Structure 1
Amino acid sequence: MIVYGSTISPFVRKVMAFAAEKGLTLTLEPAGLGRGGPAFSEASPFGKIPGFRDPGADHGADFCISDSTAICAYLEAKFPEANLIPKAPIAHARTIWFEEFADSIFFAVAAKIFSNRFLLPKMLKRPFDEAIAANAADVELPPLLDYLEGVIPASGFLVEDRITLADISVCSPFVNLDHANLVIDPARWPKTAAYVDAILARPSFTPIVTAEKALVATFA
């Protein structure tokens, strides 16, 4: 199975970590920012990463899909163990909520910081706006961290006291904040800081984050 994109994207990173937690090995093909060619375009008609291909899965034809949520849902249905999207109604709903929070609310803010403090100025050498990053870091981000600080259970997992898609989704964007040199204040948000550190230290995330940090260092 092939994932098209780069783990510098929190959505690609989420898919790769999700698969790793299931014991799956996915091939990552560089795509996005003009890369990927026809194979990527077939998997992701609108050029968004990640794209995904499962060769021969659709009655002998390749199954292609894009969007991290759709990809994770497919992997969960095809490989139900280890279960990472709970089936019990409340736990299932909470998992989907946290994924949506991470993808649509949290990263919408984190992206302003990441884009204007790393991606645009350092990686792409394009104009950036520090005022946007500063407002996101100082005004928009704290309420989201306050929310997480109030909902993280003592177990260190958001749903069912075990690793799920909820934890993978929520913690993935924190890697982008780290790339932008934004560190979560452990004095103000101790539960959140400890939670993120623990999830990102899992074997599913560690090699991904290590490789990304080596890449990021080349743009310092």
Structure 2
Amino acid sequence: MIVYGSSMSPFVRKVLAFAAEKDIELETRPLGLGSDDPEFRQASPFGKIPALRDGDFGISDSTAIIAYLDALKPEPELIPAEPKARARTIWYEEFGDTILAACGTKMFFNRVVAPRFLKRDGDLAAADKAERDELPPILDYIEKVLPESGWLVEDRLTLADIAVASPFANFRHLGLDLGLERRPKLAAFIDRMLERPSFKSWIERETAFLARAA
């Protein structure tokens, strides 16, 4: 199976970490922005990453890809079967994608992607506003809902943890001060998740790549 897209994207990274936790082997094919690679476009008609190809089957969107991988290999159970736990897991994935990662994209795109890879100025005012106004209440929310166990759902690793953790790799690349001394549960969560082998090897590659690009 092939995943198209760079792990620098929190959505691609989420898929790669989920697959690693399932012990599913994926081949990665990084693509430039706006790639017209025909196999990629067949799997992702609108050019969005990540996209996946498994033989003659192609699909895009990280949530759809994860649903496919989970159906292929249900164990270990990373999407709980119990109805309330499943609903909460899906909520946290949605939160990670559309609230946390969306906020992070305003910073990472404008401070890193635009100047380093597109060779144009980013909207630094938008990045600063996201860091100053949007991010703190999001971090406070995670600190509030994290159980003492450190896992978001069922006191064990689930997709919820993977989805919420993924954008924090980008925050590390940005060197953001997340005020973790005031958010101890969040601090422990980030360290625990990003040190897992499913995340750590990708983050190390990204760090080296960004250092070369700088």
Matching residue of 1:76: 70
The 3-state SS of whatever aligns with 1:163 is: coil
Does structure 2 conserve the Cα–Cα contact (< 8 Å) formed by 1:32 and 1:47?
no
Which moved further from structure 2: 133-142 or 30-39?
30-39
Structure 1 residues 36 and 86, CA gap change in structure 2 (3 angstroms): farther
SS in 2 for 1:3: strand
Alignment TM-score, normalising by the size of structure 2: 0.97
* Long gaps (5+) in structure 1: 56-61
Q: Which amino acid aligns with 1:214?
A: A
Specify the code of the residue in structure 1 equivalent to 2:146.
Answer: I
- 188-197 or 29-38, larger mean C-alpha shift: 29-38
Name the amino acid aligned to 1:141.
Answer: L
1:16 and 2:16 correspond? yes
Identity of aligned residues (%): 57
Alignment of 1:141-180 (within 5 A): 141-180=135-174
* CA deviation profile, 1:84-125 (whole Å, cap 9, x unmatched): 100100000000000000101111111111111111122322
* Structure 2 portions without partners, runs of 5+: none
Q: Between 30-39 and 174-183, report the one with greater CA deviation.
A: 30-39
Instruction: For residue 19 of structure 1, report the CA deviation from its aligned partner.
Output: 0.2
Q: Tell me if the contact between 1:29 and 1:36 (Cα under 8 Å) persists in the aligned partners.
A: no
1:158-216 Cα deviation digits (max 9, x unpaired): 01111111011001011111222213222122211211111010011111111001011
Runs of 4+ with >6 A deviation: none
Q: 2:83 aligns with which of 80, 86, 89?
A: 89
Counterparts of residues 70-219 of structure 1 (less than 5 Å): 70-219=64-213
Give the aligned partner of residue 39 of structure 1: 39
Shift of 1:219: 2.5
What SS does the corresponding residue of 1:65 show, helix, strand or coil? Answer: strand
What is the CA–CA distance in structure 1 between the aligned matches of 2:127 and 2:34, rounded to whole Å?
A: 25
Cα distance in 1 for residues equivalent to 2:62 and 2:34? 20
**C-alpha contact (below 8 Å) 2:35/2:47 kept by paired residues:** no
CA distance in 1, matches of 2:102, 2:127: 12
1:32 deviates by 4.1
Aligned letter for 1:18? F
Say what the alpha-carbon RMSD is for the aligned residues.
Answer: 1.1
Provide the TM-score with structure 1 as the length reference: 0.94
Pick the structure with more helix per residue: 2
Give the alignment of 1:57-76 within 5 angstroms: 62-76=56-70
1:109-157: per-residue Cα shift (whole Å, max 9, x none)? 1111111111112232212121111111011100000000001111111
Whether the 8 Å contact between 2:92 and 2:160 is mirrored in structure 1 is yes
- 1:51–1:64 contact (8 Å) kept in structure 2: yes
